Chain A
Amino acid sequence: MANLNIDAQAQNTYDAIVIGSGISGGWAAKELTGKGLRTLVLERGRDVRHVTDYPTTMMQPWEFEHRGQLTREVKDANPIVSKCYAFYEGTQQFFVKDAEHPYIQEKPFDWIRGYQVGGKSLLWARQTQRWSDFDFQGPARDGYSVDWPIRYADLAPWYSYVERFAGITGNKDGIDTLPDGEFLPPHEWNCVEKHFQKAVAGKYKDRHVIMGRAAHITKPQPIHLQQGRAQCQHRTICERGCPFGGYFSSNASTIPWAAKTGKMTLRPNSVVHSIIYDEKKGRATGVRIVDANTKQMQEFYARIIFLNAAALNSNLVLLNSTSNRFPNGLGNDSGVLGKYVAFHNYRAGISAQFDGNLDSTTDGRRPNGPYIPRFRNVYKQETDFLRGYAAGFSAGRISRSNQDAIGADLKQNLLNPELGGWHVGSHMMGETIPKETNYVALDSSLKDPFGIPQLKIAIAYDDNDDKMVKDYQEQMTEMFTAAGFTNIRVRDDHRNPGLDIHEMGGARMGKDPKTSMLNKWNQLHAVKNVFVTDGACMTSTSTQNPSLTYMALTARAADYAVKAMKKGEV
């Protein structure tokens, strides 16, 4: 019997375990297997293989039963995820349905999730800007949250490293709030976007309108062809999964790359319950899972563990990993685990018309758009709110037809639409401030279908966010006016936190183990062989999209982990 157990244990032992196969977990898998480690990737959802498991990717608009619209049944059953702009008839298979994975909203929070191999990397909008020193210095400057243990320089080479592999399109713009990267050719502007860019440059020295940086292969390099990926075809139906691998997803890129090493074991339908801590050894020895099909518990063992379940779920796993040594969650000597969660604020927007450039229009589609980097409170504190916001921007014309008539005239009108004028629009992407009162915790009684405590989420906007919304509306109105746009309308949709899908923090990085969970290598201060490199590790949120930074942090931490392991340090 004893021998059998040892055999079973040996069979379930790997060099490394990665929890989650989304954007960050995919990178952990690629880096660890690439460095020769036998790596087990545990993913709670089902397998989704590139191309063959994208059921709607080749469907024509008329082939959808409801031509894309959600049914009442789906909407009624899913009031939360139905609010997400990307959730429609062609994409619903990649989103978590409300009832399947319950959580508790202590305050309203729309938690948007993708539980499958690839996680949310199948669904994301692919905006990928580097963070700058202004972002990593933010907390030290204004005293909110704690100081980051790293600076831009620590991450810069790793940004380059992941950008080259993922394939990022953009311009080198030479803007200090938004460092340049390793770019493929940029997407094209249209004339009204160019007009706005000039108008803004003419009026403000410190405000820029640039072409968005996005994870699309505009010109495949050998490294992309080796991954089996091809040039982006501008279909703009990316969220259904792209058969060309035109955008970066774990499914098209990192996971198959890791598989090719022969070192990866991918185990879908494996819901991680907790990380096992061995008090005698003073280290984590493995992971406990609930098999989603059999509901049986099982254990797997490894020298190092990468936790990449996406920000809030990584908090959940740590909180649920209790032992005598860590009664309040793994590595939680500081008591900050689950606290100081922050997010992005996309509440506000603005739209307008432009009466110029009526002799020109656009042709084709573009899976990206212009971007306005942060310009508020950069060099000095100039407003009554902390930090700042970035913004998306785009212009376009829509065809319209007179639909008043009926009969043959109507038909004639419909088939001969007239081009309307130019419409312009923008939305804000604001940084929120991490606060102790914005937290997640485990509910003491309610369990999920796998017997794991449900996550309780208490996250809200504050006065700083409201002031920022107002400032965005005022400043953009001023910029739109300067560009000669008319019929300007601002909005604040008062959406719930969460819908912006950039939740971060809870297991933040920091220099001091008394006030943070992770050190500068994303290692738990107190359990050196556990690394957390998804959004949970973020000390503050910046105004830029976060996922590229998760990729860079993951690659950097994996490099460190393997070296440390070889030196016998972890």
Chain B
Amino acid sequence: MSIIYVLIPIAMLFVLIAICIFFWAVKSEQFDDLDRQSVSILFDDDKPVSTETKNTESKNTESNDSTPS
């Protein structure tokens, strides 16, 4: 049981680190726009602009064009 005298302070240290990270995240405005950041990973970078775009990506079908709700 004496091991908890070592383990609990270590756990406290982890919590402290977590709180510091959370504070840093809030202060660097990462919580300001949750809709945007949640999907930003899905957006690729843009294709190079060219007048005749060779289309290699999946075809846009009518189905992914959602109708207004």
A-B complex is real: no
